[in-house]
Amino acid sequence: MAAAAPEAPSRSACIFCNIVNKLEDTEILYEDEEICVFRDIRPASRFHILTIPKRHIEDVKSLTAADKDLVEKLLTVAKEMLTKNGLTEDVARFGYHWPPFRSVKHLHLHTIAPESEMGFLAKMMFRKDSYWFVSPDYVISRL
């Protein structure tokens, strides 16, 4: 008896899970077995990517100590993507929206560069160390 073919992924209510499963027409800039990177659909600057875990994690409040390596890897890959695109960390802003201030309920790290090209609304929405937008270091410190 032949082994059954693996089932194709089904659509999810989560847009990012659909992107990970190639059910959306989204250009994947990088992926490996754990993470996926793609452009933000409403960029706050010339370079604005989202780095996400392939595994569905709702948000930063859902993370546990067991996720520390994953969270560190999200940041490492985001920094590598900056370099590949001719940008440096000193002109970039990294962060996570703090619940309930997020539009998609799937953990995602924003990488925005250069900060100097961000408009007024983007600077407010992605305000450093605000109640609604926190740094990767802050997230890691809570794990």
Question: Which residues belong to the active site?
Answer: 108
CB of 31 within 8 A of CB of 53? no
Distance of CA 67 to the CA centre of its chain: 14
Q: What share of the chain is helix, strand, coil (3-state, %, to 5)?
A: 35, 20, 50
Q: Which of 106, 109, 53 is nearest to 78 (CA)?
A: 109
In angstroms, the first-to-last Cα distance of the chain is 47
Q: What element of type H or E holds 51?
A: strand 47-53
Q: How many CA atoms lie within 13 A of 1 on its CB side?
A: 2
